[in-house]
Amino acid sequence: MNKGNGLKVIVSMIGLDGHTTGGEVVSMILRDAGFEVVYLGVNQTPEMIVDAAIQEDVDAIGISSHASNYPQIERLMQLMKERELDDVPVICGGNIPPQQIERLLASGVARIFTPGSGADEIVDYLAANARKSQAHG
Amino acid sequence: MADPHSTDRLVAEVTSGNVRAGARLISRIEHAGEGIVPVLQSLYRVGGRSRIIGVTGPPGAGKSTLIDKLIGHWRKRGLRVAVLAVDPSSPFSGGALLGDRLRMTAHSGDDGVFIRSMASRGRTGGLAAAARDALVVLDAMPWDVVLLETVGVGQNETEVMRHASVVVLVQTPMGGDDVQAAKAGIMEIGDVLVVNKADHPDADRTARMLRDVVARSRRLHPDRVWAPPVLKSQASRNEGVVEVTEQIDRFFAVLGANPEFAKSRQRERARHRVGQILRELLDRHLDSGDGAWLDEMSEPLLSRTADPYSVAEELLSRVVA
């Protein structure tokens, strides 16, 4: 029940993707697993997400993608490297087709959860792979 | 991390306004990391330049939305603004859904704005235990204005007054009658009272009722130099927000013009802050399970040659000479 153990994660949509239900459900799943979720909502640019990640000092980022905003996710990954946030894994969830999954993984996305993924899969993945900052010992 | 070089370097980074260093330090405070106290000591001594403004009120009243608009106003005046926004932790999982930043996205990408969300982690006073020390960090960076947003509160969560110089209490219309407004607790701590969602049909009635209670209180305490103004706002449309900033400015002017008033507020905050740290140190010492210390306390109690009241008083006399 407390796998998150105070790990802090961002959940966000990106670009003009207005599909919020998935992100909100995942936020609640993570909340119930003991994660502290900073929910950014819609209309987030890659720059806004990276700024939030630095100010909030998060341990992982989850992007909900249901509107083919793959170039924006790739831009996010590029920015993460430029701003030296490589140690913060980015995961994506949504109806992402297989050929795009390949591209996103190649751009540095850590893991992609497609429809049908279980809550436990997401929770366990983040608990095991989120940045273990100095703060967590 | 306790070595003095890394402490000095971190203090230098934070006081030069390095956002990443400040953000990481706040995380270390939240996780009660090692070696933080020397950093906080240095930061406190260079702080004191930020205006710390508390914003409190019930869930959904519009605190975050009002803050979003306040940031916009102060940014136009060229001030650099930080926000520390607390949301509740789950009593079941310990997790949290921090949804205040969501209302403030208009300021993303602005280097003059820093927003940090924080989970309350079981604290019941409306803030988080880490908020006190996080404010020390933000005040040292320094930001011109630091907004401290509480969790959505009920009647009893008044801790924000211990940390902020001025408290804005955001209310919704439909808050109950004048007896509700006259109750002790949250209603007493607002320096500026704002009835948000002013388009609601009951907004005027609520504002009138709050004004009546303020007027009554004023007659009971004619010596008080500040009577909380009651304002109406519709924060989502940026209406009534300038008036809130004007009243905050007026409050600081009154503080400046009334040294006794300012001093009484400062003394109250100092008493609380030092008292809280003293209690934390004492708790840690008692919990440390130091054998000799525990034996010394428990043996006379066991043999009934002493009582817990006199043991506690004796210990206190060692602290307070």
Contact B118, B85 (CB under 8 A): yes
Pick among A3, A8, A35, A38 to test the B interface (most B CBs inside 10 A)? A38
Q: What is the rounded end-to-end Cα distance, in angstroms, of chain B?
A: 34
Mean per-residue pLDDT of chain A: 94
Report CA-CA distances (Å) from A81 to A65, A72, A78, A87, A89: 21, 14, 5, 9, 11
Tell me how long chain A is: 137
**Residue B96 and residue A36: Cβ atoms within 8 Å?**
yes
Per-residue pLDDT tens digits for B63-119: 999 999 999 999 999 999 999 999 999 999 999 999 999 999 999 999 999 999 999
Report CA-CA distances (Å) from B319 to B261, B279, B282, B312, B315: 30, 12, 10, 11, 7
Tell me the average pLDDT across A103-129: 97
Question: According to DSSP H, which parts of chain A are helical?
Answer: 21-32, 46-56, 70-82, 98-106, 119-129
Tell me the average pLDDT across A64-72: 93
Residues of A with CB below 8 A from B96's CB? 31, 35-37
Q: Could you tell me whether strands A111-113 and B81-87 are parallel, antiparallel, or unpaired per DSSP bridges?
A: unpaired
pLDDT of residue B137 exceeding 60: yes
pLDDT at A135: 45
Higher pLDDT, B227 or B290: B227
Contact B150, B54 (CB under 8 A): yes
Class (C level, CATH) for A8-130: alpha beta
Contact B183, B55 (CB under 8 A): no
The tokens for B128 are: 């988080």
pLDDT at A133: 67
> What ranges do the domains of chain A cover?
8-130
pLDDT at A136: 45
**Residue B31 and residue A137: Cβ atoms within 8 Å?**
yes
Closest-CA residue in chain B for A31?
B95
Tell me the average pLDDT across A81-94: 97
Pick among A31, A42, A61 to test the B interface (most B CBs inside 10 A)? A31
Q: CB burial class (10 A; 0-12, 13-18, 19+) of residue A36?
A: buried
What is the C-alpha to C-alpha distance for residues B248 and B206, in angstroms, rounded to an integer?
A: 21
CA A22 to chain centre: 12
Sign of the CA dihedral with B280 first, then B282, B284, and B286 last: negative
pLDDT of residue B2 exceeding 80: no
What is the C-alpha to C-alpha distance for residues B101 and B120, in angstroms, rounded to an integer?
A: 15
Per-residue pLDDT tens digits for B259-287: 999 999 999 999 999 999 999 988 888 88
pLDDT at B286: 80
pLDDT at B318: 81
Confidence bin at A10 (pLDDT 50/70/90): very high
**Residue B109 and residue A44: Cβ atoms within 8 Å?**
no
**Residue A38 and residue B108: Cβ atoms within 8 Å?**
no
pLDDT at A109: 98
The tokens for B132 are: 């006190």
Mean per-residue pLDDT of chain B: 93
Tell me the average pLDDT across A77-90: 97
* Partners of residue B189 on adjacent β-strands: none
